Structure 1
């Protein structure tokens, strides 16, 4: 059970700062122990030093965010709009530093493929809200998505998250001060859809509502169970289309439909990505994270005028785009790293 907010503020938040100071003071010891232990492992598994460095960097950034949040709270009388903008700027700073640390420590490269916008689309890029529908797989995919929405596309993301994520103090403090929603696990799908509808209905031109229609990371077992649920509900067409997708869970249309209905003027952006999607658990990341991590992503935008309005048509439309994402992942996995580099923007 999640502790009350006051307990999280006076216990968990200060605890992060204390742990950060302890890790920084004892860092030479941690590095020596980790290095010694790694010598007993084969070279592909000597990842300990990288994880220690990244862990310390993460804790340091978390502590900096918490201290900045305290300052923003003390100066919170400057107006709601300006207060929110400062928090979005803080998230942008935090994610940019995390991304830079991942690039240096894990040699992360991220290639985003996006069709070049027409002049009309470029003019409309920041003139309408957007609903972002993304696959959900691999470590850190949501962080990278939010980072690009903030930094590259100058959007203010909104998202519905599991209430348990509030155990992370910096996430708890910052996200609760912005138009987002935390939903308890036992509240059910209806509560999630209600929150999505609420957030979508109040979006303005710079906002982006992020939804992961699969509901969780892909695993073969989850795929089988999802197809079985569709069959039990009598959704034979959806089940058949889901069986044709090898890399994705069938999308749950309720959240996407609710967002589009609540904000009909919003464009829809689909996000596909692949590269680290086989790393599901912490154990997978520890054992199989490559020496140089590479993620390839593709974004494409559907103008509001081209989004279906009938619910049945919306479900078929959503499945069609999900099939397109699945085919794109299949094509990416069939390409060599050199082919992917040459095909990425600026790769030639």
Structure 2
């Protein structure tokens, strides 16, 4: 679906969001009581619908406050330039506030907790970050890792339909980010934008891309394998070994690597958010049974080959290693989990110590 121009789009999204949030607050008493009653009548003792209502209301409230804050920042910084260093710093602080606030909402409503292996690898120095994309809830994970934990500036390659989110739409356009469709072709203007996004990074910045382009399903995996086999038939056998994630689309990653020829490559994988790709899955998956296990791998640029085809092979092999880790972690969880085990409630700390038994 084509996204309308910014002015026309925001005439719809900003009033719509503010009105929906206000209505949500006003109807919360009867809706919350109804959700609670539905949970109890159907013996959903973990109060799934009750939690989901407050998750939706909390996220909408954060989005509405963030949208209002963008107006305040425009009034304050427009005279000196909305992309001036002072404005960029202020919008970065707003972005990090948004991430912290959304994580806090999810911690209190659906028991989101993180355990992170490799925090020390977030380090200094610019990097191209390749992150797993399993659900609607993991898009902000790199911003949490690098922006909140690592105190870094985070640049994103974002799907163009995310511009329907008014706070994200406005802040992302005022900071160095690029909106793209899922399948930029070689030589397209979008890839040129990605090249510039990486080229202009400083040592405190990272560029984040989700190489899969969308969530995993077996059908999408088969299509991704066929697409890769058309251009790289020598990689088809490797691509068919993927079980939990999609073979990566290399074009966007290559554009970022070309733009930052000395940047390290960081891979971010996670297990625990697989059941959040649709509303039906979300309703069955809350509250979370386990912490979300996050693992970070960092590869120095000197480890990468220099030829384009060899880089693509290297990316696919690293992505397959991530798939192997996910498979081992899921097997470990299945072996260790009591089917009746459910959390008593949200953790007070969104970052749990990394499990020493994790691979």
User: TM-score when scaled to structure 2?
Assistant: 0.86
1:41-52 matches, within 5 Å, as 41-43=42-44, 46-52=47-53
C-alpha contact (below 8 Å) 2:21/2:61 kept by paired residues = yes
Residue 329 in 1 paired to residue 318 in 2? no
Distance 1:304 1:244, change over 3 A: same
- Single out whichever of 302-311 and 240-249 deviates more from structure 2: 302-311
How far apart are 1:256 and its partner, in Å? 1.6
The structural deviation recorded for 1:10 is 3.4
CA distance in 2, matches of 1:261, 1:288: 40
Kindly report the root-mean-square deviation, in angstroms, between the aligned alpha carbons of the 2 structures.
Answer: 2.6
Q: Classify 1:202/1:240 alpha carbon distance in 2 versus 1 (closer, same or farther; 3 Å).
A: same
Q: Deviations over 1:273-303 (max 9, x none)?
A: 1112243222211233345353111101112
Residue 259 of structure 2, aligned match among 259, 262, 273: 262
How far the C-alpha of 1:160 sits from its partner, in A, is 2.1
Cα 1:343–1:178, aligned 2, differ >3 Å: closer, same or farther? closer
Distance 2:150 2:263 in 1: 15
- The residue aligned with 1:215 is 213
Question: What's 2:198 paired with?
Answer: 200
Determine the C-alpha separation between the residues in 2 that align with 1:18 and 1:234.
48
SS of equivalent to 2:107: helix
283-292 or 22-31, larger mean C-alpha shift: 283-292
Structure 1 residues 337 and 154: alpha-carbon distance in aligned structure 2, compared to 1, 3 A threshold: farther
Over 3 Å counting, the alpha-carbon distance change for 1:44 and 1:195 in structure 2 is: farther
Contact 1:112 1:297 in 2 (8 A): yes
Give distance in 2, aligned partners of 1:209 and 1:234: 26
Could you list the per-position Cα deviations for residues 142-194 of structure 1 after superposition, in whole angstroms to 9, with x for gaps in the alignment? Answer: 11221221101112111222222111111111111111122357875634422
Q: Deviations over 1:41-65 (max 9, x none)?
A: 2426841110111111112111111
Q: How does 1:164-243 map to 2 (within 5 A)?
A: 164-183=161-180, 190-231=188-229, 233=230, 235-243=232-240
Give TM-score scaled by structure 1 length. Answer: 0.89
Q: For 2:137 and 2:173, how far apart are their aligned partners in 1?
A: 20
* 8 Å CA contact 1:134, 1:271 repeated in 2: yes
Match of 1:249 among 241, 246, 259: 246
Do structure 1's residue 159 and structure 2's residue 156 form an aligned pair? yes
Question: How many residues are aligned here?
Answer: 339
Structure 2 runs not aligned, ≥5 long: 338-351
Q: 1:104 is matched with which residue: 108, 112, 125?
A: 108
